[in-house]
């Protein structure tokens, strides 16, 4: 009987290894009932005050009035040209609160978040149990990696045995990682897929955002920096988790439809008074500051700053990226931290993606301090440059 049990276990391990997803780090033996009981879609329905919504409408007007779109051809042109992206700006300019809220509060199942929220999109998740299990394993994989990074558990080693993840206390890992800086969970869009533990809901981007905040925090402390400038921030998970435990000015530059979404979800997660929208009167305190991407070129040079690019530079038009680099190089006593891939894949507009190293190697005003693999994602590289 014991021999049969051992044989079954060996067969199971072999199957896990053979059928392991290529884009996750760990191998899992997780019961299907666990996934069914602990994973699902976020049903949070948090509506901002009329004052906050009117601020977002005024922000959209300011963006439209001062538009200065640089010539560029990249995958974000395609994403930004989708009807959902066009409509969020349109509804803001029309001050149509009902349509704006209907779109923003259902963004988890729309194309508004295509490319920077879930690995598998809502329609494919809601209609497929297999896809939900794949997405759940992706999230667990990131949670285990974050726990390894934060030294809450051992780093699993395939060379030394014990490499299959079997019995993990998900609630304990969540509490451990997010209690390090007493973090509250980001207010993810309704219909986002993720872990549901008691009153907590978190998705893959929460875990990545928590990891990002830890990395940024260490760089800021080590080099005594006083602000962060991020180019392309998704919904703002990284900025939220850093600002939640560190009073620092955090500037985000992004395309119009995305900064409007950032405004909504950062306000609802962090508090309406913690977010500054371009064109408003600046508060005399550190805030997360949102700007359309072209305003980066009109800002005064910033010193003692940490510039940050995650999942952005390789997907942005190379000529525009070169302009960003020229702007970044003007900063004194500053650093650039990159968390990007180097696939050099087709960029959806007839060319291949470039890399951050391609951009930086052409300038003598920067030096590479560190280059390493990302702790959470296969194929991603972390680089720190001194400006």
Q: pLDDT (tens digit, 9 = 90+) per residue, 249-300?
A: 999 999 999 999 999 999 999 999 999 999 999 888 999 999 999 999 998 8
The pLDDT score that the predictor gives to residue 337 is 98
Percentages (nearest 5) of helix, strand, coil residues in the chain: 45, 15, 40
Question: 366 versus 250: which is more confidently predicted?
Answer: 250
- Contact between residue 369 and residue 351 where contact means Cβ atoms under 8 Å apart: no
- Average pLDDT value for residue range 312-327: 91
- Contact between residue 307 and residue 335 where contact means Cβ atoms under 8 Å apart: yes
- Contact between residue 245 and residue 220 where contact means Cβ atoms under 8 Å apart: no
Q: Cα–Cα distances in Å, from 316 out to 78, 86, 313, 326, 342?
A: 11, 19, 5, 15, 13
Q: Is the per-residue pLDDT at 17 higher than 60?
A: no
Task: Please state, rounded to an integer, the average pLDDT across all residues of the chain.
Answer: 90
**pLDDT classification of 10: cutoffs 50, 70, 90:** low
Q: Is the per-residue pLDDT at 16 higher than 60?
A: no
The pLDDT score that the predictor gives to residue 297 is 93
The pLDDT score that the predictor gives to residue 299 is 87
- Contact between residue 328 and residue 307 where contact means Cβ atoms under 8 Å apart: yes
pLDDT per residue over 128-176, tens digit each?
999 999 999 999 999 999 999 999 999 998 888 778 888 889 999 999 9
The pLDDT score that the predictor gives to residue 306 is 98
Buried b (16+ CB within 10 A) or exposed e, 86-98: ebbbbbbeeeeee
- Nearest in space to 69 (alpha carbons), one of 266, 264, 323: 323
Residue ranges of E strands in 146-270:
164-165, 193-197, 200-202, 227-231, 249-254
- Average pLDDT value for residue range 179-189: 92
The alpha-carbon radius of gyration of the chain (Å, integer) is: 21
Backbone angles phi, psi at 117, to 5 degrees: -130, -60
Q: Cα–Cα distances in Å, from 366 out to 197, 207, 302, 305, 333?
A: 45, 30, 16, 14, 11
Q: Is the per-residue pLDDT at 364 higher than 80?
A: no
Question: 18 versus 302: which is more confidently predicted?
Answer: 302
Element (H, E) at 372: strand 367-373
- Contact between residue 234 and residue 112 where contact means Cβ atoms under 8 Å apart: no
Q: What is the CATH number of domain 207-386?
A: 3.40.50.150
The pLDDT score that the predictor gives to residue 254 is 95
- Average pLDDT value for residue range 17-22: 61
């Amino acid at each position: 009987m014991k021999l049969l049990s051992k044989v079954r276990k060996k067969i199971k391990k072999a199957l896990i290894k053979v059928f392991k997803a290529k884009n996750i780090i760990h191998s899992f033996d997780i019961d299907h009932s666990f996934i069914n009981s602990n994973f699902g879609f976020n049903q949070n329905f948090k509506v901002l005050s009329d004052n906050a919504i009117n601020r977002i409408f005024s922000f959209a007007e300011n963006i439209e009035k001062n538009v200065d779109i640089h010539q560029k051809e990249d995958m974000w042109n395609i994403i930004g040209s989708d009807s959902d992206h066009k409509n969020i700006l349109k509804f803001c300019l029309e001050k149509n609160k009902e349509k704006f809220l209907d779109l923003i509060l259902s963004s988890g199942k729309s194309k508004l978040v295509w490319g920077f929220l879930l690995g598998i999109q809502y329609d494919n998740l809601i209609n497929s149990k297999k896809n939900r299990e794949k997405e759940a394993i992706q999230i667990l994989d990131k949670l285990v990696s974050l726990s390894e990074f934060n030294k809450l558990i051992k780093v699993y080693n395939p060379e030394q045995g014990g490499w299959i993840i079997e019995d993990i206390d998900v609630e304990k890992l969540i509490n451990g990682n997010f209690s390090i800086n007493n973090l509250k969970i980001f207010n993810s869009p309704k219909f986002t897929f993720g872990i549901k533990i008691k009153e907590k809901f978190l998705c893959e981007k929460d875990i990545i955002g928590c990891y990002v905040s830890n990395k940024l925090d260490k760089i800021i402390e080590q080099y005594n920096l006083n602000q962060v400038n991020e180019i392309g921030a998704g919904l703002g998970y990284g900025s939220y988790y850093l600002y939640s435990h560190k009073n620092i000015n955090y500037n985000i530059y992004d395309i119009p439809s995305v900064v409007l979404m950032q405004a909504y979800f950062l306000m609802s997660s962090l508090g309406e008074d913690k977010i500054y929208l371009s064109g408003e009167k600046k508060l005399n305190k550190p805030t997360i500051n949102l700007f359309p991407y072209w305003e980066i070129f009109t800002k005064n040079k910033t010193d003692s700053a940490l510039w940050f690019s995650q999942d952005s530079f390789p997907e942005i038009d190379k000529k525009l990226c070169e302009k960003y680099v020229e702007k970044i190089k003007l900063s004194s006593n500053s650093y650039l931290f990159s968390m990007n891939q180097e696939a050099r894949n087709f960029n959806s507009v007839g060319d291949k993606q470039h890399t951050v190293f391609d951009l930086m190697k052409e300038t003598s005003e920067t030096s590479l301090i560190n280059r390493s693999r990302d702790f959470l994602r296969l194929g991603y590289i972390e680089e720190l440059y001194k400006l």
